[in-house]
Amino acid sequence: MVKIHDVAKLAGVSVATVSRVVNNNERVAENTRVKVEWAIRELNYAPSVLGRNLRTSKSNLLLVLLPSISNPFYTEIINGIEDTAIARGYNILLCETDSNPKREAIYFNLLRNRLAEGIISMDPSVNKNKLNELSESYPIVQCSEYDTESPIPYVTIDSEQAAYDAVTHLIESGHQKIALINSDERFLYARQRRNGYEKAMEAHGLPIKGEWIYHAEQLDFKLGQNAIRKLLQLDDQPTAVFAVSDVYAIGALKEIHRHGKKVPEDIAIIGFDKIIFSDMAFPTLSTIAQPMYEMGCISAEMIMDKINGIAVKSRVLDHQLICRDST
């Protein structure tokens, strides 16, 4: 493997000069520069990032923590992160925790081991205590999910307001009996969306029935189907459903069809996230759009700023109601 020393020898200069040329950030005489550049080409030299990392104590690697890559909600965010990171010379290590603490520990260690310079956490099931403790020594930001009582900066939307808007949309379409398919209320976003749901119902003088609220433990289509199955067994059946994730909503859509009912005539349904498949469902799914790509970009900017010692502020971005055929 050819190293900087070889280039220096061939070019008849010192390694310091080669380094200066490679990082073209110091003044080096024009003719020595061309000599060195020639030698680099000649030997097909590529500097070892291993040596550089050690010397500079930087890895230019970012950790992105997410529960599962198969949730399409994250894909656009990741695109934003990656684009932004690359533009500033960073690369990202995509880490699926599978909500598995052991996995999580492995990834946290990458930070302690200096392999990664910072973490963007999108995992709602992350160990908050560990994250807070880590954030005292290392740069960390949260994206989408966050912790109200932690100093870790975050970028997110106003989930409560978004849920309020979604439910209000259903009410304004004439619905009074509205069900909620929620995820585990361990997660802040689930609690916030439930609050939004309840506030919207109350604001319009509508009753909230416990049996209309379904809790799914994980993010899986099947659970959206289960929810509908339960709801259709009730004596007092809802005429509309607000699902806190498109994934549930699409499962629900499917199950409603299976029962021979029509959307939105018999049951209207609105989802959350505007995942790419929401447009391909039948009928197309009304939903709440989050600016996912932008969230990714901003969280990447934030973590890189934090790494460079720049103070960052949390951001709450705007959401958007997308009315399609399911409502």
Partner DNA sequence: ACGCTAAGTGAAAACGTTTTCAGATGGTGG
Partner DNA sequence: CCACCATCTGAAAACGTTTTCACTTAGCGT
Q: Which residues contact 5 (CB under 8 A, 6 or more apart)?
A: 15
Instruction: List, in sequence order, every residue forming a beta bridge with 63; answer none if it has no partner.
Output: 93, 119
Complex with DNA: residue 55 or 313, whichever CB lies closer: 55
Contact partner, 129, from its own copies, DNA, none, Cβ < 5-8 Å per class? none
Q: Under a CB-based contact definition with an 8 Å cutoff, are residues 138 and 59 in contact?
A: no
Does 250 sit near its own copies (CB under 8 A)? yes
Q: How far apart are CA 207 and CA 186, in angstroms?
A: 24
Asked whether position 113 contacts its own copies by CB under 8 A, the answer is yes
Q: For residues 27-46, which are near its own copies according to CB under 8 A?
A: 46
Rounded CA separation 165/163 (Å): 5
Using DSSP's 3-state secondary structure scheme, residue 305 falls into helix
Using CB under 8 A as the binding rule, whether residue 218 contacts its own copies is answered as no
Q: Is the dihedral of CA 155, 161, 166, 169 positive or negative?
A: negative
CB 93 within 8 A of CB 62: yes
Check residue 23 for interaction with DNA (CB under 7 A).
Answer: yes
State which residue, 45 or 197, has the beta carbon closest to its own copies.
45
Binding of residue 199 to its own copies (CB under 8 A): no
Q: Round to whole Å and give the CA distance between 17 and 26.
A: 9
9 binds DNA (CB under 7 A): no
Between helix 72-87 and helix 246-258 the angle, nearest 10°, is: 150
Tell me if 34 contacts DNA by CB under 7 A. Answer: no
Q: Does 109 bind DNA (CB under 7 A)?
A: no
Residue 22's binding partner among DNA, its own copies, none (Cβ under 5 to 8 angstroms by kind) is DNA
> Taking CB under 7 A as the rule, does residue 3 contact DNA?
yes
Residue 118 phi, psi (nearest 5): -170, 170
Region 116-155 residues binding DNA, contact defined as CB under 7 A: none
Q: What does the binding site for its own copies look like in residue numbers (CB under 8 A)?
A: 1, 46-51, 53-54, 57, 59, 69-70, 72, 75-76, 78-79, 82, 86, 91-94, 96, 103, 106, 109-110, 112-115, 221, 250-251, 253-254, 257, 276-277, 279-282
